[in-house]
Amino acid sequence: MDNNIYSALYDITQENIREAGGEFSVSKEAFAELSTIHPQAANIFHISRTNSNKLFLEKAYIHLLKRFADESAYRNWEGRFSLFPCQFQRLLTMTLITSDEFSNKNVKVYDNFYSIHNQYGGDPSNSKKAVEVKKSEIKLHINNRLRKIYNRLPEAVKKVLRKILKRR
Amino acid sequence: MDTKVMIYSDITNLMKVDFLTGIQRVVREIVIRLIKYDSLKLNLLMYDEAENAYYLLDNNKFLTYFFNHKGEKKDVITDKVINFTDISSGAVFFDIDSVWNSRLKRSWLFPLLKQKGVKIVTQLYDLIPITHPQFAHENTCMNFMIYVGANIEYADLIIVSAKATADALDELCDKLGKERKKCVVVPLGADFSAKNSDEEVPEDIIKIASGRYILMVGTIEPRKNHSLVIDALDSGLAELGINVVFAGRIGWNVEELEKRIREHPLLGKNLFFLEKPNDAVVDLLYKNALAVAFPTFNEGFGLPMIEAFCRRTPVIASDIGVLREVGGEFADYFDPYDKESFIRAVKVLADDENTYLQKKALLEKFVPFTWDDSAKMFLSAVCSVNENLVQVPEDTRVKQMVVLTARNDDILATLPYLEKYMPFITEMVICCPDRNVDELKAAYKGRFELKFLTDSEVLDGAELPEDHQTRNFFLRCLILRKEIIDDVFIMTDDDYRPLREIQIKDFIDSNRYKAYYCYDLKKWDGTYGNPTSFDIGMSKTCQFLSEHGYPTMMYASHQPQIIDKKIFNEMTEKYPHVITSGTDEWSTYFNYGVGTYPDKFDVVPYISMCWPGAKTDWDLYVVPSEFVFENHYSVLYENGQVFEGLSDRFEDISEELISEKIKRYRSELEIQFDVRRVYDDYCSEYLASKNEMPSFTIVCTHDENQFLISTPEYIKLRAGSFTRVHITFDKDIKDWIGSECVKLNYWFTTNQNEILIPLHILNIDMEEPEFMLPMRAPNDCFESCQFHFRVILEDKNFERTIHMKVVTI
């Protein structure tokens, strides 16, 4: 499947709506999700692969509730966009999956590593059989923004950075 | 041979909506006529979200409900489930309903249909959500873009109601850099079905219809431009004694307009709003109107215009391309952005009786396109995708088999089976190392004419690749360029043995080559952690096919398959790099063939026994309906194996022996199906109680700077079995934490920590982090034991272990 055709269609239609004085509220990235959704399944691991809480909100609605996030969804959640992605994703995922709307959707959820039913789902420190985790020897004292920049770097550059930081 | 065209049509929306919009009325009229055509086998479908499949509708009951207006809609639905994979090669999938808002996105469905070369025909009503998105709800625009994109990619034919839409589609394809689609214009009919005789017209409507009024029929939405008509009413129409009647339901994004209508001072006096009018009301209003107003900004056709013409009612329409095309000289036109232009047009009809009578007289000449005419054209269009098909000629002869072998013993053992069971084969081309020829010539005494292509003849100085898969494909590509190879032949390996008499029909039927598939390349895992040359070949093949937009079924079905030399060589000429790329020869060829010449192939499940060799090698993707060939593994005849005690010598062959082998192999498969059933039942049970599927996921959590293992609360397995369980590893374990040496350990113990199944170690390939783990369960049944799962980042000295409850049954 050519995902580019969908991106190109989005650009063309966005241009048309702008000429008429309007604008799409659904982002191009969220729209791209629509072209790949399975009619009956949602894979939390796959949709969690983003550091943008807004984008995750859009993806979660599309995959779990099979619809776009509406205005009330944005209103309800934008106050929590500043949370760490992991926290935001966990909260949103569990809220949607336990909602009445979801219970009528006939959607099978896969790879929900946030699940309260799983071992180490939710907060690991609360797990009954938690094993002490040996922390990584690499301690990266960088803030969230720099992490985002790091994530976008080519692999070769990341390797060099890790070596440099390890030496320190 | 059944010559009827097999058509599948998704009419879910028609089945679900209570109120028929323009599109649903079209669907109804066309479908009730298509049902009656003998040349079609029309399968009407309704999508079910819970099943993620279609339910078949009953055609007769469809007619009863939608044509005769009797019975109930629910009676139309049968309980027969049609899965997407049931729609086979040669069929046509005809989309005529408003499917873009369906959860079953065409971007997901169409590639699946194309795996088998199904033809796709779509009725495209208009492109308004793309060309004029301001007139559609944003959600509709999003869904519609997916729908149009999928059709541009996959549809074989687009049917439109007006040339203006075809032109708009051409323009869109040009902007996208895509080849223009084949389009056919089929005008819509106007003689809608006989009205429901139970429908009555209320008294107050009769009173409205007795006045002088301009009528607008259709959904109240921004695109239809009702505001202009209200403005005209306020600016003089009311004073002229001309009323305005809106007949239709409230649509999207018209809150202000709706308020304006409902709070209008002239509502009930000069302005009338009739929501959800029945057909009898609409008919009366059309007949008695001074004129029908159609001030729309954009349309796909303009059915209200035609409906008005049929009742000899003048129409005042927007001066836009599609309405000029459909209305011709029969309508009067005005600028939809200019209220005064509209008022002038109304006055021309209202003030001058002669002009009005002339218009009515002109309309007497209007000959509507009937739905019968329209349906005939739809039929012709849909069937046209199956005309002038490029198929396998009737007189195609197959007499040759071609085998690639380096093992004299194996081919000599297999040849007698081929002689006995494939009487139409007279010639065997053996492609082998030079040193093998003399022995084969001396040893073979059968009826085949043996021809040889030795490595030196084939390679002609070229070097043979080292990798097994690459070597195989490379050799076959060179072999197929030799004159000695027939145009159409059966390709085989030296260990594929027929189990019954084979006919040409098993390879060519109804002018199509049989293409026997066994898997979907996208789902093939192979031997995880230790991929074989075969597995790597499958992965490369999948990548190549996906990149070039071909289907991705796996045709390495370990049985003889028919090959068209011309198509094979065309493929290697088009993609010369593929010759040394190590892709799978069978899958590359057949997917290229199905994608390029869909009418020449019939994609069907494979018919080979002992593929997989052992029941635990991999879970079947499709179950063979019969076993026609044996993929011979001598190890399977050893002690403790499935054919223990049976002979694999040709001299011992008998019907009873073959039956016994098939029976035993089927039993083995049944065991594995049972294992899978236990696991699937557990998944269903887990889903019902936890609202999600049980999953094993190892995830790197960046902001918490750790990774976590997520497993289900418990797992159920068949005792003593190998069950494949899906595992997902996060690639960020490599990218973020920086580990490239990831290991997975698992073992089973009793609750008292006694070992039941010892440690298994698996190296995780972080390039292929999702895979099926074959978990071997303890032999005994336990109500509760422990499954231990450990992930080790060896190079980071970092590990985590988890223990979970297991029930073995």
C-alpha–C-alpha distance, residues B471 and B478, integer Å: 11
Q: How far does A110 lie from chain B, in Å, by closest CA? A: 5
Question: What is residue A145's predicted lDDT score, i.e. its pLDDT?
Answer: 59
CA distances from B422 to B502, B504, B629, B760 (A): 5, 9, 11, 46
| A40 contact B CB<8A | yes
Residues of B in contact with A98 (CB under 8 A): 691
- Partners of B142 on chain A (C-beta within 8 Å) are 24, 26, 31, 34, 68
Residues 787-806 of B with CB under 8 A from A: 796-804
Mutation site for A-interface testing, chosen from B54, B134, B138, B697 by largest number of A Cβ within 10 Å? B697
Q: Which of A29-33, A122-126, B217-221 has the lowest mean pLDDT?
A: A122-126
The rounded mean pLDDT for chain B is 92
Mean pLDDT over B476-499 rounds to 96
Subunit contact B141:A13, Cβ cutoff 8 A = yes
Residue B794 is given by DSSP the state G
pLDDT surpasses 80 at B598: yes
* pLDDT of the residue at B705: 60
Q: Which of B486-495, B576-585, B776-785 is predicted least confidently?
A: B776-785
> Hey, is the C-beta of A95 within 8 angstroms of any chain B C-beta?
no
Q: Which residues of A touch B131 (CB under 8 A)?
A: 16
Percent share of chain A, pLDDT over 70: 77
Question: What is the structure's pLDDT at B195?
Answer: 52
Q: Are A13 and B130 an interchain contact pair (Cβ–Cβ within 8 Å)?
A: yes
Which segment of B185-189, B312-316, B406-410, B458-462 scores lowest on mean pLDDT? Answer: B458-462
Per-residue model confidence (pLDDT) at position B44:
98
Instruction: Please answer whether residues B54 and B45 qualify as being in contact, where contact means their C-beta atoms are separated by less than 8 angstroms.
Output: yes
CB contact under 8 A, B710 and A129: no
* pLDDT band with cut points at 50, 70 and 90 for residue A142: very low
Residues 732-751 on B with a CB inside 8 Å of A are 735-738
Beta bridge partners of A43: A110
Higher per-residue pLDDT: B743 or B498: B498
Least confident interval from A147-161, B73-87, B188-202, B468-482? B188-202
Among B residues 529-558, those touching chain A with beta carbons less than 8 Å apart: 549
Q: Which architecture does CATH list for B696-808?
A: Sandwich (2.60)
Question: Is B386 in the A-facing interface, judged by CB distances under 8 Å?
Answer: no
In 3D, which of B742, B745, B717, B746 has the Cα closest to residue B729?
B742
Nearest one of B201, B110, B125, B228 to B169, comparing CA atoms: B125
Is some CB atom of chain A closer than 8 A to the CB atom of B300?
no
The nearest CA of chain B is from the CA of A157 a distance in Å of 11
CB atoms closer than 10 angstroms to residue B800: 21
Residues 430-469 on B with a CB inside 8 Å of A are none
**Average pLDDT, integer, range B694-699:** 90
Alpha helices for B447-517 (secondary structure H):
455-459, 468-479
**Residue A152: pLDDT above 90?**
no
A54 touches chain B (CB under 8 A): no
For B582, the token pair is: 């190590």
Q: How close does chain B come to A72, measured CA to CA in Å?
A: 15
A87·B703 Cβ contact <8 A? yes
Q: Is A142 on the interface with B (CB under 8 A)?
A: no
Tokens of A157: 């550059």
Matching CATH number, B203-368, of 3.40.640.10, 3.40.50.2000, 3.40.50.970, 3.20.20.140: 3.40.50.2000
CB-CB contact of B613 with B633 (8 Å): yes
Among A6, A109, A117, the residue with its CB nearest the CB of B149 is A6
Residue A34 near chain B (CB below 8 Å): yes
Smallest Cα distance from B185 to chain A, Å: 24
**Any alpha helices (H) in B132-243, and if so which ranges?**
138-154, 163-176, 203-209, 226-232
pLDDT of residue B531: 81
Closest partner residue to B146 (CB to CB) among A34, A110, A144 is A34
pLDDT in tens, B546-582: 999 999 999 999 999 999 999 999 999 999 999 999 9
Q: What are the beta bridge partners of residue B411?
A: none
CA distance B141 to B371: 30
Mutate to test the interface with B, among A14, A17, A99 (most CBs of B within 10 A): A17
Would the CATH topology of B5-185 be identical to that of B203-368? yes
| pLDDT over 60 (residue B419) | yes
Contacting residues of A for B177, CB less than 8 Å apart: 8
Q: Cβ of A134 and B798 within 8 Å?
A: yes
Chain B residues closer than 8 Å to A109 by CB = 691-693
Looking at the DSSP bridge assignments, the partners of residue B553 are: B520
**Amino acid B436: pLDDT:** 95
Domain ranges within chain B, ordered by starting residue: 5-185, 203-368, 400-408+421-618, 696-808
Which pLDDT tens digit goes with each residue over B722-763?
A: 898 999 988 888 887 777 788 888 999 998 989 999 888 888
Q: What class has domain B5-185?
A: alpha beta
Tens digits of residue pLDDT in B158-170: 999 999 999 999 9
Interface test with B, best of A5, A98, A107, A114 (most B CBs within 10 A): A5
Contact A17 B134 (CB under 8 A): yes
Complex ipTM: 0.86
Residues B793/B732, Cβ–Cβ less than 8 Å: no
Q: Reduced to 3 states, what is the DSSP secondary structure of residue B260?
A: helix
User: Would the CB atoms of A136 and B145 count as touching at under 8 Å?
Assistant: no
What pLDDT, on the 0 to 100 scale, is given for residue B196?
53
In a mutational test of the B interface, the residue from A113, A123, A159, A164 whose CB has the highest number of chain B CBs within 10 Å is A113
The answer on pLDDT for B253 being more than 90 is: no
Q: Are B88 and B118 in contact (CB under 8 A)?
A: yes
Q: What's the average model confidence in pLDDT over B362-376? A: 92
CATH class of B400-408+421-618: alpha beta
H helix or E strand, kind and range, residue B801: strand B798-808
HSE, side-chain direction, 13 A CA sphere, residue A102: 21
Pick among B172, B710, B804 to test the A interface (most A CBs inside 10 A) = B710
Chain A: nearest CA to B362, how far in angstroms? 38
With H, G, I as helix, E, B as strand and everything else as coil, classify residue B699: strand
pLDDT bin (cut points 50, 70, 90) of residue B198 is low
For strand B742-749 and strand B782-793, is the pairing parallel, antiparallel, or unpaired? antiparallel
Predicted local distance difference test score (pLDDT) of residue B369? 87
- Please list every residue in chain A whose beta carbon sits closer than 8 Å to the beta carbon of residue B176: 5, 8-9, 12
Identify the band that residue B803 occupies on the pLDDT scale cut at 50, 70 and 90.
confident
Hey, which residues 108-147 in chain B have their CB within 8 Å of chain A? 108, 111, 129-134, 138-139, 141-143, 145-146
Closest CA to B707 of A93, A20, A136: A136
Which of B653, B773, B40, B28 has its CA nearest to residue B374?
A: B28
Rounded to whole angstroms, what are the CA distances from A136 to A96, A145, A150, A163, B702? 33, 21, 18, 14, 12
Closest by CA position to B739, among listed B706, B705, B766:
B766
B110 by Cβ neighbours in 10 Å (0-12 / 13-18 / 19+) ranks as: buried
pLDDT of residue B704: 57
The reply to whether residue B107 touches residue A87, judged by beta carbons under 8 angstroms, is no
Stretch B763-775: mean pLDDT: 85
pLDDT, residue B780, reads 87
How far away is chain A from the Cα of B706, in angstroms, using its nearest Cα? 8
- The predicted model scores a pTM of 0.86
A56 in contact with B, Cβ within 8 Å: no
Top mean-pLDDT range of B235-239, B435-439, B668-672: B435-439
A36 touches chain B (CB under 8 A): yes
Q: Is A64 helix (H, G, I), strand (E, B) or coil?
A: helix
pLDDT, tens only, B209-233: 999 999 999 889 999 999 999 999 9
User: To 10 degrees, the CA torsion angle through B488, B493, B494, B496?
Assistant: -100
Tell me whether the omega of the peptide bond preceding residue B336 falls within 30 degrees of 0, making it cis: no
pLDDT at B664: 95
CB B694 within 8 A of CB B715: yes
- How does pLDDT run across B640-685, given as a tens digit for each residue? 999 999 999 999 999 999 999 999 999 989 988 999 999 999 999 9
**pLDDT tens digits for range B44-89:** 999 999 999 999 999 999 999 998 989 999 999 999 999 999 998 8
Nearest-by-Cβ selection for B735 from A68, A111, A158: A158
* Chain B closest-CA separation from residue A135 CA (Å): 7
Least confident of A106-115, B111-120, B241-250, B768-777: B768-777
Interface test with A, best of B545, B701, B772, B797 (most A CBs within 10 A): B701
